[in-house]
């Protein structure tokens, strides 16, 4: 076997959440060999291990693709940063670590689109397979034997407790497990942090296989093309970077792309798979016409408030950092072991609908600008089911060039309505009596922002991505021209090629997306190995009915 071209049973592109899980499940089948390619470096940095390192990790080019969205008038013509993980573990090594599956109807909706085996009852066993829930739980819905530890926040703050109590008194009940029977309500986040350390997908699924001889993990290996013989995928070309020599790995059985919602469609496009018009613009010969590649980009658009509070919140500076570091070293609750957002809420922004349409995140800390620094409460919200969709396109035939990412945030008028309603809902919460001992002034949007036009203007100018891009190679029946993969995750019209990451989601889940990506990868591994799917879990439908909520409109 030459050093330039090697042969494995399976070649996996991308070592994020999905790639790590698929590699683990395939490699534990002793009869096959697996090569996992990752463009970034190993995950040795302390910023990738200590949870508080999230504030630094996503801005380090070595560990994150420093992508930006295309400017759009709907969001004040801003280029919005949207970094994506570029190391072992992918975005699970740089993200906020919150574990949030979504609403059961998200997945029933996927099934209604013609994707057999993707309803809530079908995917629940795979959610459970991934996780090792630590704490009280209902095992009808929660897994306790998986590789990924899911823990409760062990650091509480009176301001967060008061926010939860305020929501409860406004008709939004406390919910101790939003990943259980019901999603709606408020509480502290669950996260993949254990004993004070971030547990990324690489730590949970790759590290235990460090001595497996049938798993080859290659870092600094950016895929530059999928190799085909006719319509059959036979391998991957990769290189360390521009100007470095290319190498090839061949796949006897399958190539599996798990490069994420931005890089997966880009790789297909520069390989000649996609819209003929786009490929012609790029000067890339058409290998296979598939116009849905790169379309249907969805993401959550986050709108934050900045509220000045009395006294101190948390600080990562000076003596306080030293004190918190000492606590962390000795295994005590510490801000160094926190995810950025502490409190969650699922609510309806306007009416008595039983299904939440926004997710609320609450963080506390300090706010800095050019003039002053002060303690703040930083609540934010995003629409769970946005109607605006965008696209991802290769910007050049050069695979090392960043893709064009256009999410089209707030283009749809229905999303604009939720943005305005969400701002009014947040103000109703912040005006609750339980928060008055703490809050002493709304800095952003600020008291001058009052009518609908001003609220929408603030949303356009201040909103950011929630880092949940998905949908760019959506799953669906072959007669749907927008779909890219079938319900077995096989690329339409091609052989021996699957996609198993956030790009296959037909719609964005009502949640942070990493939990659903773990689930997708677990299902994909069974499909690749030809195993029967895990038996569906049919929970009592009455357990899944969300309780009506009191309206939060001012």
Query: Residue 109's closest CA among 415, 404, 510, 422?
Result: 510
**What is the rounded distance in angstroms from the CA atom of residue 493 to the CA atom of residue 371?**
58
Strand, helix or coil at 378?
Answer: strand
Question: Up-side HSE of residue 250: CA atoms within 13 Å toward CB?
Answer: 12
Contacts of 447 (CB under 8 A, 6+ apart): none
Exposure b/e, 129-155, CB count within 10 A at least 16 = b: bbbbbeeebeeebbbeebbbbbbbbeb
How far CA 103 is from CA of 100, 164, 254, 387, in Å, comes to 9, 20, 32, 17
The C-alpha atoms of residue 493 and residue 485 are separated, in whole angstroms, by: 9
Q: Six-digit token pair at 426?
A: 């947040």
Strand partners, 132: 144, 149
CA pair distance 381, 423, nearest whole angstrom: 8
Catalytic machinery residues: 468
272: left (phi over 0), alpha (psi -120 to 50) or beta: left
* β-pair partners for 254: 10
- DSSP for residue 213: T
Give the 3-state secondary structure of residue 6.
strand
Pairing of strands 215-218, 34-37: parallel
């Amino acid at each position: 076997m030459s050093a330039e071209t090697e042969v494995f049973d399976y070649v996996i592109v991308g070592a994020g959440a999905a790639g790590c899980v698929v590699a683990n499940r395939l490699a534990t089948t002793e009869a096959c060999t697996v090569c996992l390619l990752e463009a970034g470096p190993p995950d040795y940095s302390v910023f990738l291990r200590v949870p508080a390192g999230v504030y630094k990790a996503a801005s380090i080019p070595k560990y994150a693709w420093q992508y930006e969205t295309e400017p759009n008038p709907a969001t004040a013509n801003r280029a919005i940063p949207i970094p994506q993980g570029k190391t072992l573990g992918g975005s699970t090594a740089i993200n906020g670590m919150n574990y949030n599956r979504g609403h059961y109807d998200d997945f029933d909706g996927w099934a209604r689109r013609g994707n057999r085996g993707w309803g809530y009852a079908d995917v629940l066993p795979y959610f459970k397979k991934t996780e090792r829930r630590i704490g009280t739980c209902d095992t009808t819905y929660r897994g306790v034997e998986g590789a990924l530890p899911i823990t409760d926040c062990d650091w509480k703050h009176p301001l967060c407790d008061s926010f939860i109590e305020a929501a409860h008194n406004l008709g939004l009940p406390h919910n101790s497990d939003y990943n259980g029977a019901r999603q709606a309500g408020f509480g502290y986040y669950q996260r993949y942090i254990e004993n004070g350390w971030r547990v990324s997908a690489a730590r949970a699924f790759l590290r235990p296989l460090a001595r497996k001889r049938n798993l080859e993990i290659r870092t600094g290996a950016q895929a530059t093309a999928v190799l085909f013989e006719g319509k059959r995928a036979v391998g991957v070309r990769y290189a360390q970077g521009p100007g470095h020599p290319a190498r090839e790995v061949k796949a006897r059985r399958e190539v599996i792309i798990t490069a994420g919602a931005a890089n997966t469609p880009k790789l297909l496009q520069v390989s000649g798979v996609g819209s003929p018009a786009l490929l012609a613009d790029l000067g890339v010969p058409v290998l296979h016409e598939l116009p849905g590649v790169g379309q249907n980009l969805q993401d959550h658009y986050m709108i934050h408030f900045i509220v000045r509070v009395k006294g101190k919140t948390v600080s990562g500076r000076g003596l306080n950092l030293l004190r918190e570091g000492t606590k962390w070293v000795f295994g005590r609750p510490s801000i160094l072991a926190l995810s950025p957002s502490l409190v969650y809420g699922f609510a309806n922004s306007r009416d008595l609908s039983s299904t939440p349409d926004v997710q609320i995140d609450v963080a506390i800390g300090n706010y800095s600008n050019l003039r002053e620094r002060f303690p703040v409460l930083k609540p934010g919200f995003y629409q769970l089911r946005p109607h605006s969709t965008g696209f991802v396109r290769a910007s050049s035939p050069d695979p090392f060039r960043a893709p064009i990412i256009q999410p089209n945030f707030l283009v749809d008028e229905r999303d604009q309505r939720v943005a305005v309603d969400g701002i009014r809902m947040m103000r109703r919460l912040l005006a609750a009596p339980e928060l008055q001992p703490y809050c002493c002034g709304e800095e952003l949007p600020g008291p001058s922002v009052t009518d609908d036009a001003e609220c929408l203007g603030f949303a356009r100018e201040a909103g950011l991505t929630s880092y949940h891009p998905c949908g760019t190679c959506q799953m669906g029946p072959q007669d749907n021209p927008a779909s890219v993969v079938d319900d077995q995750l096989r690329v339409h019209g091609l052989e021996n090629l699957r996609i198993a990451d956030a790009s296959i989601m037909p719609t964005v889940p009502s949640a942070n997306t990493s939990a659903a990506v773990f689930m997708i990868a677990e299902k994909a591994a069974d499909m690749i190995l030809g195993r029967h799917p895990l038996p569906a879990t049919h929970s009592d439908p009455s357990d899944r009915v969300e309780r009506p909520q009191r309206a939060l409109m001012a």
